[in-house]
Structure 1
Amino acid sequence: MAEKVDDLFLLIESKRNDFTDVEQVIADYFISKRAILSISNLAKEISVSAPSITRFSKKLGLNNYKELVFLYKMSLSDQTKDASLISTPVTASYHALATRSDAAYRSQAVQNFCDLIYSTRIILFWGLGFNSFAGQDFEFKFTRLGKFIQVFSDQHSISLSASSLKKNDVVLISSLSGNDPDILEAVKNGRKKGAHFLLITTNEDSPFIDYCDETIYAASFSSNEALGNISPQIPVLIQLDIIYSKYISMHKKSAGKWLLSENILKK
């Protein structure tokens, strides 16, 4: 080869500004990672001449089309190896979470969540750290259904909100560990005032459970498994999607009316 190259795709993009219109068509074929063809078949496939393909190869610093095909195969192989090192464990983790979420599913618990959510217009969401991101997702979904959601994402604001709770207020807690002492104290205070609590956690021994009206258990990984390669709020988001889907199916009429009025106001 005329010059040392390691990745055909990077090489093509580095030369983009020098390509003719015909060469752009050839470049797009390889960037799209399409099938390897003989020079004559490729010329027919993309409606260019064989000499144009040869010139394209040389413009990349290669001697001929044969060298281009060799580099193309090598570049595809490198990307496949990279995908197997990264993509497969990540997708396997997602698959494991989905499977474990399905195994842990309790229809009555989800229905109880939905009943409490339906019973009130104002819902407080308590979640520290990454749990607050799940709270934002919950807020986005249920605000569209006419609920007023307040997300509290630090211990100080959670404690303050607990002090102002009233009878029949509803609080949804997201805590995978389920053992924060400050949140536990806030739950106890709120419970004394007659507030209702819902909990999403992975900890079946959480001290929160005794003070909550209902608990949903999110999927989790053992200490020997790799949760670190996916976003930690994913197990909670899966449960929130399950709750939202169940809520919609249980209250189609009221949800439909709210969404219809919302769409009318947007016009």
Structure 2
Amino acid sequence: MNHYFKSVIPVIESNYNKFTTVEKSIADFFINNQKKADFSAKTVASKLFVSEASLSRFAQKCGYRGYREFIYQYEENFVEKKETMAGNTLMILNAYQELLNSSYSLVDEKQIERIGNYLNKAKKVLVCGKGSSGLAAKEMEIRFMRIGVDVDSITDTDLMRMRAVFQDEDSLVFGFSIGGQKEEIIFLLKEAEKRGAKTILFTANNRDDYKEFCTEVVLVPSLLHLNHGNVISPQFPILIMTDIIYSYYVERDETKKKILHERTLQALEKSYTEKIERK
């Protein structure tokens, strides 16, 4: 279960809404295909009734230099893996393994380093999300609060709109939206960006217009095309990326942040002990 490879599938999924109708038909083919075959440009173009130039443009929209580079990466999906379990256990573990592989494919380490720099410079951090994304926002607040970050999480729509107007150049705002279309999250990021704040959107849906109001767009895996995705916690892809950011951030001043973390644990233990003694 520890086999990781750079898969193009999450890259295709995250860019899906940017494709033309022809490019979406190409994307659907590669997403749904389960068999290793002849993926030469000539063969695939003939099979899908598209031009080889369309395949090239599709590959470039996915971030590759051309179709040849794209297909070289795509064929990694067919590396043989040995399975030693069966039933629901294997189904769930494989689903999480696929999400981890997808995260591995999407993570941009230079971007993570930039976000670490933003966290170091920010005087206040705001993390926002609705539903399952809201749970991930609360988790991020607790994690980073314990190492000295002045951070709040918000899950209420009205509070998001109110807090948007108080952001400034000292602020760093995270918005969590898998679909990338939560109106209140987009509103918050747009208003914060207008006021000079750094803004970061976590989403599975990459769109060109995000660049107008997002300092960074962190792509996370989508559950849409994942078999049995309905049994996987929706916040899991976001938590993976926040854990990676956390590890990079802690590494910058590991001793100091470990001390702060220990102090928060000690404070919690002291509070618990005092409650027991009062009883």
TM-score (ref. length: structure 2): 0.61
Q: Structure 2 residue aligned with 1:91, among 82, 90, 93?
A: 93
Q: Does the Cα contact within 8 Å between 1:146 and 1:258 map onto a contact in 2?
A: yes
Change (3 A) 1:168 1:145: same
Shift of 1:206: 6.4
CA distance in 2, matches of 1:136, 1:181: 19
| CA deviations over 1:19-44 (Å, ceiling 9, x no partner) | xxxxxxxxxxxxxxxxxxxxxxxxxx
Q: Does the Cα contact within 8 Å between 1:198 and 1:213 map onto a contact in 2?
A: yes
Q: Which has the higher contact order (CA 8 A, sep 6+)?
A: 2
**Match for residue 251 of structure 1?**
253
Q: Structure 1 residue aligned with 2:121, among 108, 112, 119?
A: 119
**Match for residue 78 of structure 1?**
none
Q: Does the Cα contact within 8 Å between 2:106 and 2:221 map onto a contact in 1?
A: yes
Q: Does the Cα contact within 8 Å between 1:199 and 1:209 map onto a contact in 2?
A: no
CA distance in 2, matches of 1:210, 1:162: 17
Structure 2 unaligned regions, length at least 5: 1-84, 271-279
Shift of 1:263: 6.0
**Match for residue 147 of structure 1?**
149
Shift of 1:172: 0.9
Q: Does the Cα contact within 8 Å between 2:175 and 2:189 map onto a contact in 1?
A: no
C-alpha RMSD of the superposition? 2.2
Q: Secondary structure at the match of 1:164?
A: coil
CA distance in 1, matches of 2:132, 2:223: 16
| CA deviations over 1:191-245 (Å, ceiling 9, x no partner) | 1111111121111116434311112111123446331111110000111111111
Letter of the aligned partner of 2:124 in structure 1?
Answer: I
**Match for residue 222 of structure 2?**
220
Letter of the aligned partner of 2:95 in structure 1?
Answer: S
Q: 1:185-224 to 2 correspondence within 5 Å? A: 185-205=187-207, 207-223=209-225
CA distance in 2, matches of 1:231, 1:259: 27
Shift of 1:143: 0.9
Letter of the aligned partner of 2:250 in structure 1?
Answer: I
**Match for residue 156 of structure 1?**
158
| CA deviations over 1:40-95 (Å, ceiling 9, x no partner) | xxxxxxxxxxxxxxxxxxxxxxxxxxxxxxxxxxxxxxxxxxx8432221111100
CA distance in 1, matches of 2:110, 2:249: 12
Q: Does the Cα contact within 8 Å between 1:169 and 1:196 map onto a contact in 2?
A: yes
Q: Does the Cα contact within 8 Å between 2:126 and 2:151 map onto a contact in 1?
A: yes
Q: Structure 2 residue aligned with 1:182, among 184, 188, 195?
A: 184
CA distance in 1, matches of 2:119, 2:177: 18
| CA deviations over 1:96-147 (Å, ceiling 9, x no partner) | 0011111112111111111111112421111011011111211121111011
Letter of the aligned partner of 2:91 in structure 1?
Answer: P
Shift of 1:151: 1.0
CA distance in 2, matches of 1:197, 1:138: 16
Shift of 1:185: 2.5
Change (3 A) 1:166 1:224: closer
Structure 1 unaligned regions, length at least 5: 1-82
Change (3 A) 1:243 1:181: same
Q: Secondary structure at the match of 1:256?
A: helix
Letter of the aligned partner of 1:133 in structure 2?
Answer: L
